[in-house]
Amino acid sequence: MILSKFLLNKNFRQFWITVLAVFFGSLFAKADELSSFEKRELSRLLEMDWTELANQPVSGVLGYDQEHWRNPASIAIIRPDDVFDGGHMQLVDSFRGVGGMYVTRGNAYDDFVTMRNFSGSATEKFLMLVDGREVLQPMGGTITWGTEEVPLAILDRAEIIRGPGASIWGTNAVSGVINVTTKPAESTQGNSIRLALESTGTFLGEFVHGGKIGDGEYYRVWVRNQEYSESDLLSGVPARDDGYGRKVGFRFDKNLGMDFDLTVAGAYSSRRFEHVLDLSSRLLFPTDATFTNFVPVSVATALGLPGVPPLSAYSTWPNSSGFVQPSGVPRIVNYEDLPQDAAHLRSRLSGITENDLEWSLDAFAEKYETNLGHVGHQWERDEYNLEFRGNRPLGDRNHLAFGFSYRYMEFDVAETTTLPWRFPTINLKTGLPSSDIPILQFNGPDSFERSSAFVQDTFEINEDFFISFGSKLEDGDLSGTTVQPGIRASYSANRDNLIWAAYSRAHRQASLVERHTEVSYARIWNPNPFHPVLNPTGQQWINQSFEADPSLDDEVMDAYEVGWRSSPSEKFLWELSLFYYDTKDAVFSGPPTYEAHDYTSFGGELTFNYIPSSFWELQGSYSYSQGEKEGVRQTDFPESMASLASVIHANDDLKFVQNLYFTGDRVLPSSYNELPIDDYLRLDLGMIWQVGEGWRIGLFGQDLLDPDHTENMYTDLDVEPTRIKRRFLLSISTEF
């Protein structure tokens, strides 16, 4: 106990940091012994606190710890300071500065993230893990970002691996992997508070408390509360998307012996919002007033008559004057609650054996309850996971990583027809009138299983060249049996230049909505009165839907990547990454069905980090990507994006930050009307004060160049995006 207190004494830490500085300084003087990559890493380590220095892993994509600069992949690492100093309220906001990442805001409480021109819709075609737990939602193929956020004080890092990682991570690690890890309880002793307030009224508060129970036993508890302010729709109508997201969590770490540890952690979150659904925008009418040939599908098939005309023959009911809706059909705007509750519990046993086998055994249990009240769709998901991972060196130049896992899920889904949608309409499936057709109808199985195993072997041919290859084998109810191989290699052309290349075959499972959920996206007005053939039911509204496709195969991507990482000096690092993706059976949604198409995309990212002087740091990226569906160039993803971050250290206690983001134009696809999104330039400015011991205060202006702009929406359910407004942010954090 006395020794541990002495080791953590501030003067003792400063003494050893000084000793390390002198030691590494002597190494720096020998330019022929250290590369610029190593100098940069040592410089970063020397700036850390001693407790951080002792606890800093360097992770990779090979199944075991690896120096960041040696990894044969495009990797960005987001640390807590990157989030706070960038003026970001949430971790997901900080992804905007990562090359190849497309981050957009859909409404007050949800964000969308896509990578490398593979999906311009709300579906995230990459895998995200938080402390090893997969958080991609199987129902819609999305990530509920607000639910998965953690207090900044417990965040260790977020590793963003652009490009497939399926040979280790498996299904859905298609366009990339985001791996979020939190700090051990020992590293969060004491108390910390973070408060953030936007000029829009959105508020965030976080509190973390950590303590020690006995020798080798540490714990922490935390709470996070975010109050969301209401935004406006593009038309100016209030979105009524205000609400709150609250989350509590804990972690307990115990050392069970030499190189043998136990971790138990969990969290519970609750989110409450309303959501607006403009149902009148889902009411379609023929643009040709003389149109009289609509016949329900069942009648048309029997009589050989024309059926439903193409959607180009229709338009939505305008919300402005100039057209009169059918008698008795007022403009319908529906507001409903969107409650969501989620909880998880995880435990981990980990250790290192005498023969250098580093291993971990994880068990997860989760429960999600989601109610999309605006469309009358709710589900509960119970999930259980068991996973083992291990790695060990085999001799001096060989490292083996391997693992296996089992996953079981149960779903309980219920649908209701919301009150404003309950009016007589023709059901195209039966040709009969009905007033009870939900917007979403789930017809899938209620449970799923998946087993998997992987092996990855890395050979160091010599000091300059290594090659790694492996594969993941999975067998599950959703995809059957799949094999997802990958190979990576890197070559140090010289001490300051690294060239790498990779090939991967990755699978993405179609979501349960895409496979098993019929979406009634519109009602069509039939101008014909009762007619024994043309309108035998006498109903003038016809329900229009696009059906799920349970036969959809996995999307299968063959991915080719090359990269060049160079550090001409310890002050400058740049990287060029190029990729080509060839995807079979890529799923695209929209009327009249979910369809699978061949899809190719190619592009690359140029990123750099530069320290021009002791008080100035620069970081930037430029991304270009282009996608084609069946040979037709797509416009639902911005082909060009760029970012530039500048930090000026005015003195030890004050720094100024500038973040500039450029996003190219795109056309937002929709089941209703396509929406062009113009290119936009976002400028954020801020300053951070270090006040006293442990206090930090940040003041930021965001989106300063535009009063507002639009970014995204749920394309299959919503018909109108929200406005992203100019705003100001005050952020305060302290430790005590």
The pTM for the full model equals: 0.85
CB 661 within 8 Å of CB 679: no
Q: How sure is the predictor about 350, in pLDDT bands with cuts at 50, 70 and 90?
A: very high
The bridge status of strand 190-198 relative to strand 176-182 is unpaired
Q: Would you say residue 570 has pLDDT above 90?
A: no
Q: Which pLDDT belongs to residue 735?
A: 92
Chain centroid to CA 124: how far? 6
d(CA 239, CA 128): 29
Q: Which pLDDT belongs to residue 499?
A: 95
Query: pLDDT tens, 613-667?
Result: 999 999 999 999 999 988 899 888 899 999 999 999 999 899 999 999 999 999 8
Q: How far is CA 713 from CA 2, 421, 634, 717, 718, in A?
A: 58, 21, 18, 9, 7
Q: Would you say residue 34 has pLDDT above 80?
A: no
Q: Would you say residue 299 has pLDDT above 50?
A: no
**138: how many CB neighbours lie within 10 A of its CB?**
20
Query: pLDDT tens, 373-404?
Result: 888 999 999 999 999 999 999 988 999 999 99
d(CA 9, CA 50): 10
Is 25 buried (19+), middle (13-18) or exposed (0-12) by CB count in 10 A? exposed
Is 372 buried (19+), middle (13-18) or exposed (0-12) by CB count in 10 A? buried
Q: Which pLDDT belongs to residue 527?
A: 63
Largest CA distance in the chain: 95
Q: How sure is the predictor about 530, in pLDDT bands with cuts at 50, 70 and 90?
A: low
Query: pLDDT tens, 470-501?
Result: 999 999 998 899 999 999 999 998 889 999 99
Q: What is the mean pLDDT of the chain?
A: 83
d(CA 251, CA 264): 6
